[in-house]
Amino acid sequence: MFQAHSRPCDDGVATFFKTDKFQLKDYEVFGFNEMLGEVIRLDQFENRNEHNERQGQYTVLQDLKSGKEIVVVNVHLIFNFWREPDMHSIQAAMFFRQLYKVLPESAKHSTAWIVCGDFNMKPSFPAYELVKNGQLSESSVEKLRPGKYAYPSLTENKVMTNSERNGVVHEQLRKSISHPLKYSNSAYKVVLGSEPKFTHYEFNDIFQEVFGFDMMKDTLDYIWFSSDLLQANAVLEMVDEEMIKPFRACPNRYFPSDHLALKACFQFHDNDDSAYSSE
């Protein structure tokens, strides 16, 4: 199942599943601006925030062996964190809030879930803390104020020029930059003890203008899961950087995307026969 983003591009989000293991129970797509428009006036933003539109894909599957349901979410957050860090975090919060709404009303805390995607956030970013903990510390909330902190100088100490916009999201929705899901954990962090050294490896001349460097090698992609109901048993080892260097960066003839594949194997805590993988 594929869902294109609401903009003139061919990219989007897609979810595939094995029909001999799962039955499709429900499928819904929610647009970020649709959700944002329910809590704040979109006419406060340039072009009603169309440049930040993204689609979240929510697929409810039933395991044919155990009969248990699992919600699989696929998202792709904005790559605009250096200009709109508050918008970046509220986007993450709203997609996770929507997941809570999608979970069955009678089984909010007993339905397993997995959220995969390109989050465009480093482990040191406030958005990572938000996804992991469901809320932000006060110091992290302050880092969402546009113009006050230079991105990505939180980790790289690069001097950048930030947008001087007023921080509408930061001021009006700071209490909404949270989500109610507990036990949110990253599969790679759980299995390996740390996130991969990188999941994105790209050379781009535009980066030089924006960031002051032309090579971006960062950890931006994740597989999050409900660790109270699912056990992460294994993950696909990240490709060795030495295999990429001869080609300078990605994509290339062997790696078709600037983002590299992640894969994790899960099982329900109380059923040893229900192991399956997520990519």
- pLDDT reported for residue 119: 97
Nearest one of 253, 247, 189, 237 to 215, comparing CA atoms: 247
- The domains located in the chain, with CATH, are 2-193+221-231 (3.60.10.10)
- pLDDT reported for residue 61: 97
pLDDT in tens, the chain (279 residues): 777 776 556 678 899 999 999 999 999 999 999 999 998 888 888 788 888 889 999 999 999 999 999 999 999 999 877 778 889 999 999 999 999 999 988 888 899 999 999 999 999 999 999 999 999 998 898 888 766 666 655 543 343 334 445 566 767 888 789 999 999 999 999 999 999 999 999 988 777 777 777 888 999 999 999 999 999 999 999 999 999 999 999 999 999 999 999 999 999 998 655 566 666
pTM for the predicted model, two decimal places: 0.89
Q: Alpha carbon of 126 to those of 22, 96, 97, 157, 180: distances in Å?
A: 35, 15, 17, 16, 17
